[in-house]
């Protein structure tokens, strides 16, 4: 990830030290990663090999599997490159991504990002503490809100860093929990400047479960082409 300047390092330090406004995170001069344009039609055809694990259109019913539907294309592409190039590893995905070329990756990203993500229902008892953490973090303990990077609706955002910030709304819970736990334990370390690892290191198992529950309940509607969030005005849906 040599394309990045030092700016985001400063950002994440600021983020963890306090809980600044988004404007402090978004550096206008941050380099933009140019993504290859993908064809959703080609991606649809090429996605046949992915269906057994990621479901018909990127909505697997097994909670342990990642939903890809409605995910941001730049993020999908980055993950596939990371699996292929070894920055992220998992026995199944490392093998599946090994021979994907950049154009195939762009096509797959174009296809999955334009599929509608299915809804999940949050369990209110757990979702309530999850909501407080999601929206406010724990400023005293240096934990930023998730909103800062993933948006108030869990819609993520493009740009700022390579791959941008992923959609986490309506993600499968078991997958969500495994990812945040892997960041905490350092097993997943493909996050730019250790951003997610720094966040996850401040979360307990109970925190992670509650966050998974709250995020699951966020609406996947209008994820595609969601406008960049304005955290000062946007109200979360629940
Ligand atoms: C044998 C099962 C299997 C197949 C087939 C498979 N995947 Fe995966 N995929 C996984 C697993 C398991 C993970 C989660 C890995 C982890 O825990 O880090 C994953 C993760 C991903 C991610 C990261 C999701 C995220 O939110 O970060 C992407 C993108 C992805 N797969 C795309 C694909 C594509 C495209 C194909 C077809 C070319 C494919 N996968 C085929 C099992 C599979
Ligand atoms: C400083 C920015 C930042 C903050 C704050 C942040 N995240 Fe993240 N998060 C990221 C980035 C960047 C990634 C993707 C890393 C990569 O490129 O693989 C990520 C990835 C994730 C993933 C994995 C998504 C997937 O599909 O595999 C989950 C889940 C997640 N974050 C949850 C959270 C939660 C919950 C919070 C609040 C406690 C939070 N994040 C706060 C930057 C952040």
Q: What is the pLDDT of residue 99?
A: 95
Q: Which ligand is nearest to the Cα of residue 92, counting in written order?
A: 1
- Least confident range from 7-21, 98-112, 144-158: namely 7-21
With a 6 Å cutoff on the Cβ, whether 196 touches ligand 2 is yes
The answer to whether the beta carbons of residues 58 and 187 sit under 8 Å apart is no
pLDDT level of residue 125 (50, 70, 90 thresholds): confident
Task: Give the span between the Cα atoms of 61 and 54, in whole angstroms.
Answer: 8
What digits encode the pLDDT tens for the residues 31-69? 556 678 999 999 999 999 999 999 989 999 999 999 999
Domain tally, the chain: 2
What digits encode the pLDDT tens for the residues 219-236? 876 454 443 333 333 444
Q: What is the pLDDT of residue 8?
A: 43
Q: Are residues 22 and 134 in the same domain?
A: yes
Q: Which of 25-29, 159-163, 177-181 has the highest mean pLDDT?
A: 177-181
With a 6 Å cutoff on the Cβ, whether 207 touches ligand 2 is no
* Residue at 185 is within a domain: yes
Q: Could you tell me the residue range of the domain that residue 127 belongs to?
A: 2-29+119-216
Q: Are residues 161 and 79 in the same domain?
A: no
With a 6 Å cutoff on the Cβ, whether 149 touches ligand 2 is yes
pLDDT level of residue 123 (50, 70, 90 thresholds): confident
Q: Are residues 54 and 135 in the same domain?
A: no
pTM of the model: 0.87
Residue that the structure tokens 């206008």 belong to = 28
CA distances 5 to 2, 12, 159, Å, are 8, 13, 13
* Residue at 234 is within a domain: no
Residue range 16-25: mean pLDDT, rounded: 44
11: left (phi over 0), alpha (psi -120 to 50) or beta: alpha
Q: From the CA atom positions of the chain, what is the Rg in Å?
A: 17
Give, using CA atoms, the residue closest to atom 16 of ligand 2.
191
Q: Are residues 45 and 155 in the same domain?
A: no
Average per-residue pLDDT in the chain? 84
User: 65, 92, 113 — which closes off a domain?
Assistant: 113
* Residue at 63 is within a domain: yes
């Amino acid at each position: 990830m040599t394309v990045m300047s030092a700016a985001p390092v400063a950002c994440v330090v600021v983020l963890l030290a306090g809980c600044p406004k988004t404007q402090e995170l978004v550096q206008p001069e941050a380099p933009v990663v140019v993504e290859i344009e993908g064809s959703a039609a080609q991606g649809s055809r090429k996605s046949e090999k992915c269906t057994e694990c990621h479901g018909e259109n990127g909505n697997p019913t097994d909670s342990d599997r990642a939903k890809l539907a409605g995910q941001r294309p730049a993020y999908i592409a980055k993950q596939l490159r990371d699996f292929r190039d070894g920055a992220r590893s998992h026995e199944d995905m490392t093998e599946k991504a090994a021979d994907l070329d950049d154009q195939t990756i762009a096509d797959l990203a174009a296809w999955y990002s334009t599929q509608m993500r299915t809804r999940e229902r949050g369990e209110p008892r757990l979702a309530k503490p999850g909501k407080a953490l999601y929206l406010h973090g724990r400023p005293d303990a240096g934990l930023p809100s998730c909103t800062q990077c993933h948006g108030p609706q869990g819609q993520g955002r493009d740009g700022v860093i390579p791959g941008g910030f992923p959609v986490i709304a309506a993600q499968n819970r078991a997958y969500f929990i495994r990812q945040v736990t892997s960041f905490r334990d350092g097993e997943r370390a493909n996050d730019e400047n250790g951003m997610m690892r720094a966040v996850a290191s401040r979360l307990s198992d109970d925190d992670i479960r509650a966050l998974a529950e709250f995020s699951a309940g966020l609406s996947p509607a209008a994820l595609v082409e969601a406008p960049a969030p304005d955290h000062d005005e946007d109200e979360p849906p629940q």
